[in-house]
Amino acid sequence: MPRKIKNNWKVPAGRPLTEMDEIILDYQARGYLVPSRDLIKTPEQVEGIRRSGDITRGALDLVASEIKAGMSTEQINRLVHEYTLDHGGTPAPLNYEGFPKSVCTSINEVVCHGIPSDEELLFPGDIVNVDVTTIYKGYYSDASRMYIIEDTYPEWKRLVRVAKECRDIGAATCKPYTFVGDMAKAITRHAHQNGCTVVRELCGHGVGLEFHEAPDVDHYGVRGKSGMLLVPGMVFTIEPMINLGKRDVYEDCDDGWTICTEDGQPSAQWEHTYHLTPRGLEILV
């Protein structure tokens, strides 16, 4: 049973209960973790996040058209930085808690938070995650893609494919009044069925009005029990980090950001920002 939070969902005084109120209050009374009302985005806020997402998507499309062997990860950083500014946005990672660049570039055994550098070059066979987060008129959007440089080992290509399938299979389970754990269980099952593992130390997150909001969107869990109840109006990312080898990771002590696999095997990740509607998830970017 998830940890109990008392009175997380509150109904404004004098307003009649809606059907959604009644459902959420019932789960809350039974001790489940439910969202607070401020996690439910208005249609205007969703539209703002969507427009931010247009810039994020455009930046990732630009990277797709330009990325190649011999390119430095700093060149990717400059592409994303300049595209974002040219379209009226701000790169959210830049100076976020001291992060020095506008984008994360994570190659091969780097799981996430790789810092772009002039000295770090792309080689044929590399697999690269590029993670872009944009602020536009106060709204945040977050997405990442994998890129294969020319061609790579069959097992690495399979890893990239399985990671994308994990994200999409997890997203397909997300319906109103299911739990984060339902999505997480589907992701873990698919990864394990394909001989891969799921990183547990990092997760997806709520997003939209801030870079990172509640809930934590873990990619492992127990169906029907773990994680927050998902309700219409929530906006969050799903971004499982899938390893070809063991799930264990470590943080680079030199830069305080880069997360790598313990065994040196490659990792892959795909990310969308989603809006939960009464019918299921809508991709915002």
pLDDT in tens, 271-285: 999 999 999 999 999
Q: Which tokens sit at 164?
A: 């994308």
Residue 181, domain CATH: 3.90.230.10
pLDDT, residue 222, reads: 81
Q: Which residues pair with 282 in a beta bridge?
A: 275
Does residue 192 lie within any of the structural domains?
yes
- Quote the radius of gyration of the chain (alpha carbons, Å): 19
Q: What is the DSSP letter of 2?
A: P
Residue 170 lies in a domain: yes
DSSP-derived letter for residue 24 is: H
The CB density around residue 165, as the number of other CB atoms within 10 Å, is 17
Cβ atoms within 10 A of the Cβ of 156, count? 19
> What mean pLDDT comes out for the span 207-226?
92
Is residue 79 one of the residues assigned to a domain?
A: yes
Locate 45 and state its tokens. Answer: 């806020």
Question: Which helix (H) or strand (E) is 147 found in, with range?
Answer: strand 139-148
16 is a domain residue: no
Structural domain includes residue 7: no
pLDDT digit string, tens, across residues 122-159: 999 999 999 999 999 999 999 999 999 999 999 999 99
What is the domain count for the chain? 1
pTM: 0.94
67-100 pLDDT, tens per residue?
Answer: 999 999 999 999 999 999 999 999 999 999 999 9
pLDDT at position 4, please? 43
CB-based contacts of 155, cutoff 8 Å, min separation 6: 244
Per-residue confidence band for 10, with pLDDT thresholds at 50, 70 and 90: confident
Examine residue 74 and state whether it is found in any structural domain, yes or no.
Answer: yes
In a domain, 23, yes or no: no
Express as a percent the part of the chain with pLDDT over 70: 97
Provide the residue range defining the domain that includes 215: 31-283
Q: Is 112:131 a contact under the CB 8 Å cutoff?
A: yes
Look up residue 100 and give its two tokens. 């020095």
- Please, where are the H alpha helices in the chain? 19-29, 43-66, 73-86, 154-173, 180-193
